[in-house]
Amino acid sequence: MRIVLFGLVLLITACSTVGGAAFDVAQAYYQSTTAPSYRNVSLNPTYRYLEVQTGTASALLVLAEVDPSPGTGQFLETWASAQQQVLRTQSGFFMGASGIAQLPTQVQTTWMNNTASSAAFSFPPQGVHGLPVQWKPWPSNPVVVADTPLYKRAQQVSSLQVQAWQGFAEQPQAAGNSHIQSLLPLTQIVATDPTTGQLVYGQFCMANNTCVEYLLRTAQRNL
C-alpha cells in the first residue's frame, strides 16, 4: 500500500498553498556554491524533513510519499520541495533525484539478505542508462567520513553507526567507456541511529567528486 503524505498532485504542481506548514518550510532551493544552513528553520512536528546539500545546491525537502518495495520488506521514500526538487531514498541509500543539478536520475539498488547487492545506475547527461553496478562493502573499518558541516550535525547522535559501500560496473565493456570511468566507482555512506536503526545521515558520491549529502530532521530531533 502506498502512503501519500500529501497528494501526488502536489508533487507535480508544487502548489505551496496546499500541504500547509510542511511546504512552507520546503520552499527554498538554492543553486550556489555557498550553501545556506536550514538549521534554525522551525519544523512542523507532523512531518519528516531531509536537508540536502551538493557542491552547487542545497534544499530542505519534506517526506511526500512512501512506497513498499516488493519482496524486500523495505520502503522507497520520496522527498520533495515545493519547487519540484525530488530525491528518493531506500534504507538510507540514495536512489536517484530530479530537479537537483548534477545528480543521477536513478541508482536503483536491490538487496539480498538485507544487504545492498547491486544497482541499475542512470546518469543521462553522460549517456549512462541502466548500467548494472555491484555494491561491495567499504574495505576499511572504521569508515572515514569527510567532516562536513552536515556530518558534524549528524554526530550529535551518540554512537552513530556508519557503513559504506562502493559500486563497480558489472559489465567488462564499461572499462573502455570514458564517461563511465569518470563516474565509477560510486560511494554510498549511511549513518544510522544505534537505538532505532533509522537513517540519520547519508552521502552518495561519484568518482568525479560530485556528491550529495543528506540529513534527516524532525521537530523532535532538529539536528
The predicted-structure confidence for 146-196, as pLDDT tens digits, reads as follows 999 999 999 999 999 999 999 998 776 566 677 788 899 999 999 999 999
Q: What value does the mean pLDDT take over residues 63-68?
A: 89
pTM: 0.84
Q: What's the pLDDT tens digit per position in 66-125?
A: 988 776 678 899 998 877 789 999 999 999 999 887 899 999 898 877 788 899 999 988
Q: Which CATH number fits domain 3-217: 2.50.20, 2.40.360, 1.10.260, 2.60.40?
A: 2.40.360
Q: What's the pLDDT tens digit per position in 15-40?
A: 333 244 444 545 444 444 455 668 78
d(Cα 187, Cα 193) in Å, to the nearest integer?
A: 20
pLDDT at 55 over 90: no
Q: How confident is the model at residue 199 (pLDDT cuts 50, 70, 90)?
A: very high
pLDDT at 206 over 60: yes
